A and B are shown apart, each in its own frame.
Chain A
Amino acid sequence: MVTVFGKRIRFFRPRTIWVRRVVQWFFFLLIVLISINHTLAEGGGGLSFLSSASLHAVCPFGGVETLYTFAASGLLVKKIHDSSLVLAGIVLILSFLFGPVFCGWVCPLGTVQEWVGKFGKKIFKRRYNHFIPTRIDSILHYARYGILAWVLYVTATSGTLIFESYDPYFALFNFWSTEVAWSAIAVLGVTLLLSVFVERPWCKYACPYGAVLGVTNLFRVFSIKRAESTCKADGACSIMCPMNIPVDSVKVVRDHQCISCLECTSEAICPVAKTVVLTSGGVK
C-alpha cells in the first residue's frame, strides 16, 4: 500500500522467483560465450580463460544419446565427449533430488522460450498458454516420449547425432555456423513462434531430454506439495504453472511435466504462506 495524492493505492503484482531468472541469465550467457569462443578458437583465436568446448560437449543430453553406444562398444557417438556423460550424471542427481530443475533453471533454450513468452503474455493476457484444450494438451504432452524413442533409436543404429539436424538448441547457439542444418533452424523458428502462444512449447511437447528428466517427477526426493488445510483454492498456482499442471487439485505434484520452477509456490504466486512448498517432508 502506498499513498498517492491522499489516496491509498495497492500495487499488486505476482511475486516471481527472481533468483531463478538470475540463474537462467547466467547459464544463457555462459553458453553464448562458450559457443562464440568455440567458433573463435576454431579460427585460431578465442579467449584462453573461457572454455572453447563445442555445444555438444556442454549438453547433458549428449550423454543420454550416447549411452547405448557407450554400453555396447565403449565408444562415444561422434561429436560427443566425456563431458556430456559427466553433465548427464550431474543433472540426473539434481533431478533425483529436485525433479527436472535443469529444465526450469538451467536450460538456455527453455529460458529463451520464456523470454519470447513474455510478449505472448502481454498480447494475450490470461488467454496466454491456454489456447489448447486441456484434453488435447494432456495427450500432446506424451509426444516427447515418442521423439525420445526415435532419437535413441536412430542414434544407436547410426552411431551419429541425427537429432542434431532438428535440434533447436544447437541451432539457437550455433546459427552462424555451417554445421547447423536448415531443418534445425526451421524447428527453432517454429518453437519461438509457438512460444508467443504457448509457454515453453518445445519443453512441453517435443524435448526428448525433458522426457527423460520428467520421469524423475514420479520419485524425486523434494517435491512440490500443497497443504490442503491452508489452501484457499483460488487456483493461482495452476494458472501460473507454465506447464499447465493443475497444482490446486493435487496434494503432491507428480506430473511428468513439472520443471521445478517454483512459480506456483508460496514464495511466488500462492498468497498463503507455507501452503505450496518444495519439501522432502509432508504437509498438512
Chain B
Amino acid sequence: MTLTSKPLAVIVLILVFGGILFSSMMGWWATESTKQPVTFSEGEFAGQANPADIRGSYTFGDIANSFDVTPEILAQAFGITEGNPSEFAVKELEVIYLDSGFEIGTASVRLFVAYYTGLPFDTTDQEIYMPQSATDILLAKGNLSPEQVAYLEKYTVTVDASIPAEEPVVDATPAPAVSSSTTSEEFTVKGKTTFGELLSWGVTQEVIEAIIGTSMPDPAMSVKDFASANGLDFESLKPALQSEVDKVKP
C-alpha cells in the first residue's frame, strides 16, 4: 500500500484528534491537575492521599481538602500573611522565595504536609528546604521521628514569617531547626497571636486547653478572637499563656 501526502495528512489529524477524543471519552484526557492527589495503593496508608503528588497548581485550600492540615497552618508555616490562605497557590512559593538562595516550593509543601500528617514521604537523595516557621510547627506537633527531626535540622532556613508574602526576607544560611535568631518579641502573646503560634513556640496543646478551659480551636484562630467568641476576657488569658510561653521559650 502506497500513501501520498494528502491521505497521510488526514490520517495524522484523525489519529491525533481522534485519539484525544477517545481518551476524553475514556476519562484519560486531563490537561490539568484534578486537585486530588493519588492515594497510596498499598500498605498501612492505603486509600489515603499521597503528599508526594501535591502539585504546584494546588492551592492551600485544595491541600486542606485532601489532607488533615488547614490552609491557615500552611500559610503560617510558609510565611503567607496576606490574602486568603485557601486561595494561595503552592507554586507561588517558588517566586516568593526566589531570592533566598534555597528552593522553597512545592517539594517543601509536600514534605511539610507529610510530616504534619504523619504520612510517608521519601526524602532519599533529596534536598528539600524548609522555612523556620514550618519547622517550628512540625517540631511543636511532636510526632516526628528522630530521622525526620535530623532532616529538618539539616535543611531548615530561617525565615521571617511576619514579612508579607510579596516581600519575603530569607536568611541565606541553613539554620538549626529551632533558630537562635528568634527574638523575645516573637514570644510575646498579643491579640493577634494564634494558637498555632503558641504550639510552634513549644506550649503543648494540653497546657493551652487547661488555661482556656476547653478544647483548643483551630490553630489558625487568634487567642483574642477565641476569647471574644467564648465570652472570655483576653486580658485574663494572656498572662497565663505568657507564663507558659516564658517557661518553654529558648
Contact = CB atoms under 8 A, between A and B. Distances in A.
A101 interface: yes
B88 to A, nearest CB: 15
B63 to A, nearest CB: 15
B3 A106 contact: no
A53 B13 contact: no
B106 A101 contact: no
B232 interface: no
Given A53-B32, A90-B19, A94-B15, A78 B2 contact: no
B224 interface: no
A165 B29 CA distance: 26
B111 to A, nearest CB: 12
A20 B32 contact: no
A139 B240 CA distance: 77
Contact of B19 (A20, A86, A277): A86
Interface residues of B, number: 32
Interface in B27-60: 28-33, 38, 41, 50, 52-53, 55-56
A81 to B, nearest CB: 5
A112 B213 CA distance: 70
B29 A267 contact: no
Interface size class of A (residues with CB under 8 A): 35 or more
B31 A93 contact: no
A237 interface: no
Given A82-B29, A83-B29, A17 B15 contact: no
Interface string A73-90: 111101101110111011
Contacts of B4: 262, 267, 278
B33 A81 contact: yes
B5 interface: yes
Nearest to A17: B5
| Max chain B C-beta neighbours (<10 A), residue from A74, A86, A260, A280 | A86
Contacts of A83: 20, 23, 29-31
Given A54-B31, A262-B8, A78 B15 contact: no
B9 A20 contact: yes
A19 B30 contact: no
A101 B8 contact: yes
Interface string B56-77: 1000000000000000000000
Interface of B: 1-6, 8-9, 11-13, 15-16, 19-20, 23, 28-33, 38, 41, 50, 52-53, 55-56, 95, 106, 125
Q: List 4 tightest A-B contacts by C-beta distance, closest first.
A: A53-B31, A90-B19, A57-B31, A82-B30
